[in-house]
Chain A
Amino acid sequence: MTATPILEARNLYRSFGAVTAAKDINIRIQSGEVVGVIGSNGAGKTTFINMVTGFLPPTAGEILFNGRSILGQAPRKITRMGMARSFQVAQLFPELTVLDNMLVALSIAESGYPSFLRPLRNAARIERAETALAEFGVAAFRDHPVTSVPQGTRKLVDIAMALIGNPSMLLLDEPTSGVAVEEKFPLMDSVMQVVRRHGVTVLFVEHDMEIVSRYVSRILAFYAGEVIADGPPAQVLDDPKVQELVVGHGGHGRTRRAS
């Protein structure tokens, strides 16, 4: 592991008043890895993503992306450097159609200074957007306003929008949360297929152990703002500390029953 990691966090701290949401986090992720992050609610997973993407400044510590410090950069700058993210609750433009959502994302990805007079819709853009929607299997919803499409579709559109700028790294924040149980695996399958095809480094936060262990090569376990385990899925999930503090708290039996 001598190559420069694509993402490196050093001694990250973050507190909200008396609550510490991140405590001495040290993480190195190499290009091409697919890393899962597990932890119960409030363990600091989303806080970690928020800090890495510039949404939330860490109280202390250092974050490097491709070896360069990105501390203090706005989310848009970090996005432009090639780190995109999706959201726990799909962050879309509800009154716009699915296609327009994609087109807006695309036009911004094409230029940081979108045009005032040239139309958003042009043939090339629409084609690219449609291709992207088709990749995720949601092309059928093209002309539906986001408010009228199912939750799972929204999650996919959300991820498709994150991917449309061809990022080198993608952070997925609970991609299957809010999705019906029986849709979770199909959804993850299509997501992972696309991201693999794009060769993107992925870090994804997930409650569900089964989903995590199925798709990732490495797991980080968070507890109370700290990384308590880091390693291959089998090793981490067998860790007694993880068993006690994370798995025991998650209550994920239901997914198991369902599958």
Chain B
Amino acid sequence: MNRLKSLFVPRRPVVAALALMAVALAAGSAQAAENGKFRVGIVTFLSGAAAGPFGVPSAHAAETVIDALNKGLLPAPYNTKGINGLEIEAVIIDENGGATKQVEEFRNLVERQKVDAVIGYISSGDCLAVSPVAEELKIPTVFYDCGTSRLFEENKAPKYSFRTGLDAVVDNVGAVRYLADTRPKMASIAGIQQNYAWGQDSWTDFVETTKKLRPEVKVVGEQFPKIFQGQYGAEISALSVAKPDVIHSSFWGGDMEALVLQGNARGLFDGRTLLLTCGESAMEHYKDQAPNGMVIGGRGPFGAFAPKNALSEWLRAAYSAKWNEQPVYPSFKIVQAILGLKAAVEKAAAAPGKQPDADKITAAFTSLTFESPSGTVKMARSTGHQAMQGIAYGEYYFEGGKATLKNVRSYKDTCVTPPEGVNGQDWIKSGMPGAKCD
């Protein structure tokens, strides 16, 4: 053994292996994007549970809109080709696998793929982890979906990080306002949330807002099943026993659809209102398995809640022509991010066909106002890095074989967004001072 082992002193192998790996890595490292194209990293879930409801509709919409932009097919003001005349080249990356991996992949995107900007991130954990790296690497990064309030609380002076989606506080303040307006007799609420940050935060925001707007309402039950549990037999019984008037849930994806299906089959929603803050994302899936009158939201004026304008009509038509289904809110959100980036770059550019540097892009993006399928977007919070928009809720009805929205109510941005520099949770607790709702 002694002699055998000494045969294998790892001299050359180590060197050889390292050399091999270095060669492999170097060979694969892409040439800089100085190929006359504008290279964008797109990061969204292509696998795992968030792929179906969010990631893939986002990736599909990104593909559709980037394709159309490169051909100059979008309506004004985006009828110029590509981004500032440069062809857009997208590098799509799977967001699955946790924050550590995402930080690694983000660095690869920037340093090896030499992307000019990154758009992406659904998971709040990924946003929180990536944002400081974006600042470190000085690369314009647009977070399009994650809703955590902590994004610009941990990254207090963002320069390269932008969020064109809304803070999750907006979802729940809007939800309570909708219930207060449409369900004046509501006396008790209960919640069922996935047991992770999103679900916990959503429920806290919802309950605290309810306490301020409708102090007489009682919280009669709360359930926190494990995320992706899929079976809610016991939770549904527990909620039935609690007999709430309104059941609030921040569920999404397969969990949400399973909850609706199982609860509906067991009569949980008979004579009660179910409110789903992410409900719009599965609008085409419920069919007659969801109760009519179920309140759903789209995390802003997105998807079915988007206003009628040239851009939203174009998106609906182009998306359904290509993918055979209606675009849902994540599709709208990623398009909004891409268009925001285009607007910023073109504002920063000295001349068409020229690529402004990252600092110019971010300077132009800050406090930018741009058009999107969801209407006009103002980057008006977190000193110009956080989009500010209103939100809408409505009731789901399945009639004549078609899903429709009724009783849609929109709440304007100033009604649901905390003032600049105020933490969302603190704002709610202090009774939402300064909210303008008319």
Q: Chain A residues in contact with chain B, CB under 8 A?
A: 96-97, 99-100, 121, 143, 145
Contacts and interface: CB of A to CB of B under 8 A. Distances in A.
Given A97-B1, A145-B1, 9 more contacts: A96-B1, A99-B1, A99-B2, A100-B1, A121-B2, A143-B1, A143-B2, A143-B3, A143-B4
Interface of B: 1-4
Contacts of B4: 143
B416 to A, nearest CB: 61
B4 to A, nearest CB: 8
A253 to B, nearest CB: 43
A45 B194 CA distance: 62
A121 B1 CA distance: 11
A122 to B, nearest CB: 12
A96 B4 CA distance: 12
Nearest to B4: A143
11 contacts: A96-B1, A97-B1, A99-B1, A99-B2, A100-B1, A121-B2, A143-B1, A143-B2, A143-B3, A143-B4, A145-B1
A100 B2 CA distance: 9
Contacts of A145: 1
Nearest to B1: A97
Contacts of A100: 1
B7 to A, nearest CB: 12
B178 to A, nearest CB: 65
A99 B1 CA distance: 9
A81 to B, nearest CB: 32
Contacts of B1: 96-97, 99-100, 143, 145
Q: Which one of B2, B3, B4 has the greatest number of beta carbons of chain A within 10 Å?
A: B2
B9 to A, nearest CB: 16
A99 B3 CA distance: 12
A187 to B, nearest CB: 25
B8 to A, nearest CB: 15
A5 B1 CA distance: 43
Nearest to B2: A121
A197 B1 CA distance: 30
A100 B4 CA distance: 13
A126 to B, nearest CB: 9
A143 B7 CA distance: 14
B6 to A, nearest CB: 12
A99 B4 CA distance: 13
Nearest to A145: B1
Q: Which one of B1, B2, B3 has the greatest number of beta carbons of chain A within 10 Å?
A: B1
Contacts of A99: 1-2
Sort A-B residue pairs by CB-CB distance and give the 3 closest, nearest first.
Answer: A97-B1, A100-B1, A143-B1
A145 B2 CA distance: 12
A121 B6 CA distance: 14
A97 B1 CA distance: 7
Nearest to A99: B1
Nearest to B3: A143
B47 to A, nearest CB: 40
Contacts of A121: 2
A97 to B, nearest CB: 4
A97 B5 CA distance: 12
A121 B3 CA distance: 12
Nearest to A95: B1
A130 to B, nearest CB: 12
B306 to A, nearest CB: 66
B335 to A, nearest CB: 60
Contacts of B3: 143
A145 B5 CA distance: 13
Nearest to A143: B1
B412 to A, nearest CB: 68
B324 to A, nearest CB: 59
B3 to A, nearest CB: 7
A96 B5 CA distance: 12
A93 to B, nearest CB: 12
B79 to A, nearest CB: 71
Contacts of B2: 99, 121, 143
